[in-house]
A = this chain, B = another copy of it.
Amino acid sequence: MSNPVQPRSLKTRAKLIDAARTIVGQSGLAALRVEDVVARAGVAKGTFFAHFADKDGLLVQLIAERLNAALDRMEALPPPGSVDALLAALDPLLTTLTDDRIVFDIAMRYSGGMGPAGDTGIASNTERQVALFARWIANAAAQGAMRNDQPPELLAEGVQAFAAQTVALHFCEVTRANPAERLGPFLRAWLEIR
């Protein structure tokens, strides 16, 4: 039933993503326009939409890549044994989300679930996040370094909530204090044993 993916198709898709990456690298995510992408890829506009449902489809690809890269880095870290260590360990994620307003917007919009078209790559990243944070928290809790009166998953989602809040403020506040600094007190109040 399912057609074998044609090599030509893969090549075109790759050309489009490469072109997009180049443009984003030069001018930022906000400047990404389908017109430029197809021009650089040397394809017609219509072809773009044969490969991506819409522009967001491409954007989500690029952003999911970034988020997954950040998460890869975090998973390579030793599990944090304290709230402060956790805070430090969140840095790749905070840096990625803070880099461009659109990253955060898309992450918010698609984090929840998968649209009708299945996983966008962001939702599964969010799940990875929760799983990782929960593992970290459970581990620290087992060592008596964090609270264990709540399911680690709930605490993990709470960490996400505070991170999101922090990043949101980062984008509308005039003063650009370090997001991690702002996040610290919340994580302590949320995760420390009291």
Contact = CB atoms under 8 A, between A and B. Distances in A.
Q: Main SS of the interface on chain A?
A: helix
Nearest to A123: B172
A30 interface: no
Interface stretch (A5-13, A138-146, A183-191): A183-191
Interface residues of A, number: 34
Of the listed residues A123, A168, A194, the one surrounded by the most CB atoms of chain B closer than 10 A to its CB is A168
Integer count of this chain's copies in the complex: 4
Contacts of A172: 108-113, 115, 123
Interface stretch (A21-29, A68-76, A147-155): A147-155
Given A112-B170, A164-B164, 10 more contacts: A108-B108, A108-B168, A111-B169, A112-B172, A113-B174, A115-B174, A149-B189, A154-B185, A154-B186, A160-B165
27 contacts: A109-B171, A110-B172, A111-B172, A112-B168, A112-B170, A112-B171, A112-B173, A113-B172, A113-B173, A113-B174, A113-B175, A114-B174, A115-B172, A115-B174, A123-B172, A147-B194, A150-B189, A155-B189, A157-B186, A158-B162, A158-B186, A158-B190, A161-B161, A161-B162, A161-B186, A164-B164, A164-B168
